[in-house]
């Protein structure tokens, strides 16, 4: 079950980053690194699905995506927990 959840998170972040125009990828990634206070290798691990994205970082990444293009990367319920689908 946990592997399925990590795979879903990988898919969500990977797909969203894949839709960011090539000219904006670097600035969006740098903004996520800045606001989440993480290093590049941690972001790459999140994107590849090697490690789980914590609920706090999910909320922060959603805030970055909202300010960038008005969408959410992760689906969160009212308590800011990820929803199971």
Task: Give the closest residue to 20 by CA, choosing from 63, 57, 73.
Answer: 73
> Terminal CA-to-CA distance of the chain, rounded, Å?
12
Q: For residue 38, with 0-12 CB atoms within 10 Å meaning exposed, 13-18 middle and 19 or more buried, which class applies? A: middle
Q: What is the pLDDT at residue 43?
A: 95
Q: pLDDT tens across 42-78, in order?
A: 999 999 888 889 999 999 999 999 999 999 999 887 6
Mean of pLDDT over the chain: 85
Task: Map tokens 């689906």 to a residue.
Answer: 75
Q: pLDDT tens across 22-47, in order?
A: 999 999 999 999 999 999 999 999 99
pTM: 0.79
Q: For residue 41, with 0-12 CB atoms within 10 Å meaning exposed, 13-18 middle and 19 or more buried, which class applies? A: exposed
Question: Higher-confidence residue: 80 or 9?
Answer: 9
Structure tokens at 84: 């199971």
pLDDT at 20 over 50: yes
With bands split at pLDDT 50, 70 and 90, how would you rate the model's confidence at 82?
low
């Amino acid at each position: 079950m946990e592997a399925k959840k990590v795979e879903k998170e990988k898919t969500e972040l990977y797909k969203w980053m894949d839709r960011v125009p090539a000219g904006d990828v670097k600035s969006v990634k740098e903004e996520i690194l800045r606001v989440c206070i993480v290093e590049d290798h941690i972001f790459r691990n999140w994107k590849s699905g090697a490690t789980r994205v914590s609920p706090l970082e999910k909320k922060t990444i959603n805030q970055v995506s909202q300010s960038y293009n008005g969408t959410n990367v992760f689906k969160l319920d009212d308590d800011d927990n990820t929803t199971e689908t």
